[in-house]
Structure formats: C-alpha cells, structure tokens
A and B are shown apart, each in its own frame.
Chain A
C-alpha cells in the first residue's frame, strides 16, 4: 500500500470534498481517499503506483485544479 498526498485548488466545502473524492475513487488502484478542505490536501491510498496524469485528469473531471506539489509515503 502507498499513501500519496496531492494539493488541490478550489475546494471550499464538504460538497467540494465529495466531488473530488468521487472522481479519485474511480482511478484504478485507489483504495481510499481522504480530503482536508482547509489545507487543500487530498490523501490517496493505493495498491499500485499512480500516473500523475490520471490523478490530474480525475481532479480536473471534478472541476478542480491539481497543484504541482505532492508527496508519497510507502
């Protein structure tokens, strides 16, 4: 299992968190998603390495914008 944290711009409320979570959960390999609206951080647990392009596409599909900052913890 790998945990990665991404920075997402434009989330302001619980509904925003729900939209982003919904799209992230559709990405192959994602097993859990946690969103912190205040910090704009989305923490994703996966069973494989994710392609950043897939993550960006999911965030964009929800209507939001991925920041370039992200961290990864095995």
Chain B
C-alpha cells in the first residue's frame, strides 16, 4: 500500500500543501491539531539545512496565521517509489507586503494515510520577474541509454 496509489503524485503534493494551508487559515482550530492531521508526531523536516520537528512546525503556524499569505503550489515534477516521493515545485506566496516565488526541490516520505513523516527540502527564491517553472522535457531513448 502506498499513499500515492490512487492519486497523481504531482496532484498529491499540491493538494497536501494547499489543504494544510487552507486548514490553518480557514479556522481558529488549535494549530497543533492541524499539524498532527498532516504530519506524524515524529516528523522531521530539514529545509535548507534548518531542522524542524513538530514543535517548530506548530510555532511556525503563528506567522502564517498572522501574515495570512495566499499560496499556490505549482508542481512541475514528481516521482514516486513506495512511500517516498521526489518533487520539484514552485511556491507562489503573496502576503501583506511582498510577492515571493520560491522554487523547491524535495525528497519526502509519507504514511499510508497521507501524513508527512520526513522531508528534506532545498529552496531558492526566484527573481520577481521569473516566469513559471517548467517540467523536465521527456528524455529520448538515446538520452536514457548510454551510447
């Protein structure tokens, strides 16, 4: 059984982040309960070398709720192996004072019920005038196989 069995991996990632984000901003529910719906209790995220456990994820919900950014996750590529997924996506954020586009490259592991167990993410902020990210072109037979 894989959390990605019945869904397109790109859609899975887009839905995961959008749903988590909407739950945080759409109610005053205890942020710990929301974090727990989307992450295992022993979750570990490492973003650009910064280590985050459940407590840090919960603490980070405060600035999200305070700034109330709108977010859109444009997933360009996603590959699945068992309960793991590798994805490349761009997060478009607009809040009170700024517009941001953050390109992200992620390796992650999810439980069967779709909660994140661990994720390693590298990000870079794109220039303000950057266009949308593009999917990788399909590799030809010649590119895949060494000559």
Instruction: Check if A57 is an interface residue, CB within 8 A of chain B.
Output: no
Q: A38-B51, A63-B67 are in contact. Are A12 and B57 (CB under 8 A)?
A: yes
Interface size class of A (residues with CB under 8 A): 10 to 19
Residue B102 contacts which of A15, A16, A64, A65 (CB distance < 8 angstroms)?
A15
A12 & B59 in contact (Cβ 8 Å cutoff): yes
Task: Please report the C-alpha to C-alpha distance between residue A64 and residue B64 in the assembled complex, in whole angstroms.
Answer: 9
Contact string, B51-93, partner A, CB cutoff 8 A, digits 1/0?
1100011011011101100000000000000000000000000
- Within A36-74, the residues touching B (CB, 8 Å) are 37-38, 60, 62-65
Q: Is the CB of B60 within 8 A of A10?
A: yes
With the chains together, A55 CA to B11 CA distance in Å? 42
Q: How far is A31 from B5 in the complex, measured between Cα atoms in Å?
A: 54
- Docked CA distance A6–B144 (Å): 53
Please determine whether A12 and B47 come into contact, CB atoms closer than 8 angstroms. Answer: yes
Q: Do the beta carbons of B62 and A14 come within 8 Å of each other?
A: no
Q: In whole Å, how far is B98's beta carbon from the nearest beta carbon of chain A?
A: 8
Query: A37-B50, A38-B51 are known contacts. Are A10 and B59 too (CB-CB below 8 A)?
Result: yes
B125 interface residue (CB < 8 Å to A): yes
Asked whether, in the complex, the Cβ of B50 is within 8 Å of the Cβ of A9, the reply is: no
Q: Mark A8-26, 1 if CB is under 8 A from B, else 0.
A: 0111111110010000000
